[in-house]
Structure 1
Amino acid sequence: MTQRFSFSLAATDGKARTGVISTPRGDIRTPAFMPVGTAATVKAMMPESVAATGADILLGNTYHLMLRPTAERIDRLGGLHKFMNWDKPILTDSGGFQVMSLAELRKLTEKGVTFRSHIDGSKHELTPERSMEIQRLLGSDIVMAFDECPALPADRARITESMRLSMRWAERSREAFGDRPGHALFGIQQGGLEQDLRGESAEALTKIGFEGYAIGGLAVGEGQEAMFDCLDYAPDQLPQDKPRYLMGVGKPDDIVGAVKRGVDMMDCVLPSRSGRTGQAFTRRGVVNIKNARHADDPRPLDEACTCPACSKYSRAYLHHVFRAGEMISGMLLTWHNLHYYQEIMQGMRDAIAAGTFAAWEKQFHDTRALGDIEPV
């Protein structure tokens, strides 16, 4: 059993990289997509089904878990891995983003954030120190520094002030994290879409020193073009020898574009959330299973896909169970979406290792451009 956390690069192709993050709970092949298990579950999925899609790591949510069932309770019950029956690595976010987007009546100070729970209105305080304590109680393998993420668009003064506060909080997170062999703390780069502010943030984080670095504050409404413009330089500002994690991304073409620009890890609720609302991601683009055109279609969702939804059920059946509001609909479509996302990651890992990433990327875009198969 590896006792340390480490990252090794196996190959690069342009800026795209493939490698392995080693943790005591297992290896994470990069580029990696992390399904989101917000409240200690990837919605509509059994943990073993998530593993079967090819996921090496899951994301858990500090904000949701601290409110319910509480980090203290999870700790008493043996930690998050045991609690949710997932024995591979888990990354927990710091709670900062959810406080900004979900909590009510929040108040931001140098010390941290006080807020009322969106569940029952109870009052809570989240600081860098408390976030580190919660994530330690949860027992996650990769811990995120506590930061503040302003929604874009925001003016430069607000972005500057927020980024510098996040850097002071990053230093406090590092201190509070302490020495935890086998566990890793990632710092989070902020600075909106301003190259110089991103640079200042990267410099501050590198000086503090982290086991990995995240690119935060993107995928918050700025649009793909602006995000890619930022990713043209942001990953390069971070240390080469550490994993780089783009938070909260994204659609399949966002993920491919991010990897092309040097990103190693991503997470997003999209595959699972879309699965529950009848949207399937396929090689040939997005399919809305609720559309009437699928009602008599005996063909699979995606004939090249080996997931249970595609290998055992027809479009007609998937359409029927969605329309009927049956639980299996969200289960099958979520499984398909997560399987497809992991297939993209494996495709990119193989292509980078073989030095054929550009050809792989072209085929990916060309196939998506074909659109869905003709109706029956």
Structure 2
Amino acid sequence: MTFDLLAQDPGTKARAGLLTTAHGAIETPIFMPVGTAGTVKAVGQRELKQDVQAQIILGNTYHLYLRPGLDVLQAAGGLHKFNGWDRPILTDSGGYQVFSLSGTRKIKEEGVTFRSHIDGSKHLFSPEGVMDIQRRIGADIIMAFDECTPWPCEYDYARRSLDMTHRWLKRCIQRLDTTEPLYGYEQNLFPIVQGSTFKDLRKQSAEFIAEQGRAGNAIGGLSVGEPAELMYEMTELVCDILPQDKPRYLMGVGTPANILENIALGVDMFDCVMPTRNARNGMLFTTQGIINVTNKKWELDFSPIDETLGGHVSTFYTKAYMRHLFQAKEMLGAQIASAHNLTFYLWLVKEARKQILAGTFAAWKPGMVEKLMTRL
């Protein structure tokens, strides 16, 4: 895997790059649709390519491990073959999901024991085991097994958790470097910076992660309830430490405005369930602002959802028709809304990239952020 840094905006720390993997190139900054269980909810692979123009999608180790299971995935030849997606895939380590099961898991140095949310069966995730699982899933980019601390969090807990996350990272690296890919192409590990919202811990973690010399690095433990300004402060601190020549992935972020603000701080990669989750409730993100398409005001609005975006979904269907689908509880409404929102997110990062390459991102961003936060 290679990362070529092509430009940096002169007025901010925003970057444009090209990340090349075994399954193709990714233009950064990039948003990655979340396909937790091997599918992006309500959006098929052809739509992801043609309308959304997704360059990379995510899978989740925890969910794929439980269902369909590793034997099925390996028999298929890995997740790419199983779901028919021939572009890059990133898999989260499942750490966030495991740690969210606070009532049914136990954290020890060995790893985490937890009970399945499906049938209550007991399982162990260790750093070595999670690397083996992600080998069998076959993603191009795989994440280290870490502990994502809650917010707010006591300093002593955050420090102990960070120390263990760093020890686990060394075990992840050891396991990955002494095993081989199963499907004939390279897999790359991204370590994860933790440390809650404590500056000294974030600095310590960022320095430790940078020293590992992996192909890319991630920032975890943010967008978990803390104020946006605190998220930006931690992100800027970490980005100033992480290597310039490696991609930076801010996990689980976020709103369109969050994405632009963090691009300005030097982040290259994003993921979030927001575009599809909110779509299923009738919230549409557009280039002019946010639409609650279930409102009566759209009943006689026969204009397209968003002509600016191009593509079939956003320009063919009208706001009035979308309102009707949601009022009638037709599943097509959620499908169209999900594809549209993802199309918008991919348009947004593509437009940000254009502005970075032109050297105009700093001037363009404030007006765009204001539009993105407008309720129509």
- TM-score band, normalised by shorter chain: over 0.9
Give SS of 2:8's match. Answer: strand
Corresponding residue number in structure 1 for 2:224: 220
Matched, 1:255 2:259: yes
1:7 aligns to 2:18 (yes or no) = no
Determine which of 32, 35, 41 is the counterpart of 2:33: 35
The alpha carbon displacement at 1:345 in A equals 0.7
Q: Secondary structure at the match of 1:234?
A: helix
1:368 Cα deviation from its structure 2 partner: 3.4
Cα separation, 1, equivalents of 2:128 and 2:373: 48
SS of 1:27's equivalent?
A: strand
| Kept in 2: contact 1:195–1:234 (CA 8 A) | no
The 1-side partners of 2:216 and 2:166 are apart by 15
1:207 is aligned to 211
For residue 38 of structure 1, give the secondary structure of its aligned residue in structure 2: coil
Contact 1:104 1:116 in 2 (8 A): no
How is 1:76-87 mapped onto 2 (pairs within 5 angstroms)? 76-87=75-86
Number of aligned residues: 368
The equivalent residue for 1:16 is 14
Aligned-residue CA RMSD (Å): 1.4
Q: After the TM superposition, which residues 87-236 of structure 1 pair with which residues of structure 2 at under 5 Å, given as runs?
A: 87-102=86-101, 104-178=103-177, 180=181, 182-236=186-240
**Structure possessing the higher relative contact order (Cα contacts under 8 Å, 6 or more residues apart):** 2
- Residues 286-325 of structure 1: CA deviation (Å, up to 9, x unaligned): 2111112112221222232323333112111100111111
TM-score relative to the length of structure 2: 0.95
Where does residue 312 of structure 1 map in the other structure?
A: 316
Q: Distance in 1 between matches of 2:361 and 2:309?
A: 21
Cα deviations by residue, 1:85-105 (Å, 9 ceiling, x for unpaired): 100000000010000114751
Q: What amino acid sits opposite 2:48 in the alignment?
A: V
2:354 is paired with a residue whose SS is helix
Find the residue that maps to 2:249 and give its secondary structure.
strand
Q: Say yes or no: does 1:66 pair with 2:70.
A: no
Letter in 2 for 1:32: I
Separation of aligned partners in 2, 1:185 and 1:349: 25
Q: Cα offset for 1:203?
A: 2.0
The SS at the match of 1:143 is strand
Structure 1 counterpart SS, 2:34: strand
Q: Secondary structure at the match of 1:36?
A: coil
Identity %: 47
Q: Structure 2: which amino acid aligns with 1:8?
A: D
Query: 1:321-336, aligned counterparts within 5 Å?
Result: 321-336=325-340
Deviation track 1:132-153 (CA, whole Å, cap 9, x = no partner) reads: 0110000100010100011110
Q: Secondary structure at the match of 1:119?
A: coil
CA separation in 1, counterparts of 2:96 and 2:170?
18
In the other structure, the counterpart of 1:242 is 246
Higher alpha-carbon deviation: 98-107 or 337-346? 98-107
Q: 2:280 is aligned with what amino acid?
A: R
Distance of 1:108 and 1:98 partners within structure 2: 13
> What is the SS of the residue equivalent to 2:33?
strand
1:51-62 equivalences in 2 (<5 Å): 51-52=49-50, 53-62=52-61
| Partner AA of 1:37 in structure 2 | G
Encode CA deviations 1:256-304: one digit per residue, 9 max, x unaligned. 0110000010100111111111110112222111112112221222232
Whole-angstrom distance in 2 between the partners of 1:61 and 1:216 = 15
Q: Does 1:47 align with 2:45?
A: yes
Q: Is residue 109–residue 164 contact of structure 2 (8 Å, CA) maintained in 1?
A: yes
User: Per-residue deviation at 1:15?
Assistant: 0.7
Q: Hey, what's the Cα distance between the residues in 2 that align with 1:30 and 1:80? A: 23
Q: 1:354 aligns with which of 349, 354, 358?
A: 358
C-alpha displacement of 1:31: 0.5
Secondary structure at 1:115's aligned position in 2?
A: strand
Q: Deviations over 1:48-104 (max 9, x none)?
A: 211221211000000100111112221111110010110000000001000011475
Query: In the aligned structure 1, how far is the partner of 2:16 from the partner of 2:289?
Result: 25
Gap change, CA 1:103 and 1:74, over 3 Å in 2: farther
Q: Quick one: which amino acid aligns to residue 57 of structure 1?
A: I
Unaligned ranges ≥5, structure 2: none
Which shows bigger deviation, 334-343 or 47-56?
47-56
Q: 1:262 to 1:20 in 2, by over 3 A?
A: same
Q: Helix, strand or coil for the counterpart of 1:245?
A: strand
**2:282, 2:326 within 8 Å by CA — same for their partners in 1?**
yes
Looking at structure 1, the residues matched to 317 and 208 of structure 2 have their Cα atoms a distance apart, in angstroms, of: 52
CA distance in 1 between partners of 2:79 and 2:220 (Å):
24
What SS does the aligned partner of 1:217 have?
coil
Amino acid at match of 1:123: K
Unmatched tracts of structure 1, length 5 or more: none
Shifted more, 93-102 versus 307-316: the winner is 307-316
Tell me the SS of whatever aligns to 2:308: coil
Moved more, 298-307 or 276-285: 298-307
